[in-house]
Amino acid sequence: MDIPLDLQQQAMGYDRTATMFSPQGHLLQVEYAEKTVRLGSASIGMTCSDGVFILADLRIEDKLIVQRSANKIYEIDSHIIASVAGIVSDARVLIERAQVLAQQHRVTYDSPIEPELIIKDISNVKQQFTQYGGARPFGVSLMIAGINSKRPELYTSDVTGNYLSYYTNAIGENDEKIREILREKYKPEFTIKRGVKLALDIIKEMQDKKFNIGRFELVYIKSENSELKRLYGEELQEFVK
């Protein structure tokens, strides 16, 4: 009986540290962290003709929990937001670092920080935890959306510390299936309202009978004035019409 390759690698100890490459060139602890991210709740980000938004599934159905205490979209600065998928407590450390960096930039240069500088700093931290022993990788993907000189921007950083700029992207549960639909239906001329409707339609298709608009959170930023607005649950009904 042949033993699967991944079990062979585990038996030989290649997954005991994030710094040890397997003979096939894999960092197994990093790949495990990527699987953790895909177990997280879904978020969709999109750049639109009039701004940028992130829609996130809070995945909170317990009536005892105050919904607004379980945010999945964080304000980094008045013009930058971030969403996460994976281990939220890991993400909190990175989010707080990003918030401090944004405020330091305002104090030092008296100007808002560019979204790419935020994602680059966070990605550098995540990369370090795949290279040095004694600590595990951050089990989180981070999506950053913001306005840079009235231009909407969207970035995503993965577990390895790589980051890319996107027109639209998804992280978390069913991320690849969501991206397939986005590749087919996304158009750069979409307004925020049209983009949010598409995002909700996609998630509704993924979740089918489990879909409940009451457990979603939306934050969008207008390009013209960098005004940030946050909506919860039933407040999103205006985008479904």
Distance CA 140, CA 157 (A): 9
Res 200: pLDDT: 95
pLDDT in tens, 146-169: 999 999 999 999 999 999 999 999
Res 131: pLDDT: 84
Which of these, 203, 231, 195, lies nearest to 73 by C-alpha position? 231
- Which domains, ranges and CATH numbers included, belong to the chain? 42-240 (3.60.20.10)
Distance CA 92, CA 101 (A): 14
pLDDT in tens, 28-86: 788 888 899 999 999 999 999 999 999 999 887 777 887 777 788 999 999 999 999 99
Tell me which residue has tokens 């500088």: 117
Q: Are 38 and 173 in contact (CB under 8 A)?
A: yes
Backbone φ and ψ of 166, nearest 5°: -130, 155
For the segment 218-237, the average pLDDT, to the nearest whole number, is: 91
pTM for the full predicted model:
0.90
pLDDT in tens, 94-124: 999 999 999 999 999 999 999 999 999 999 9
Q: Are 86 and 186 in contact (CB under 8 A)?
A: no
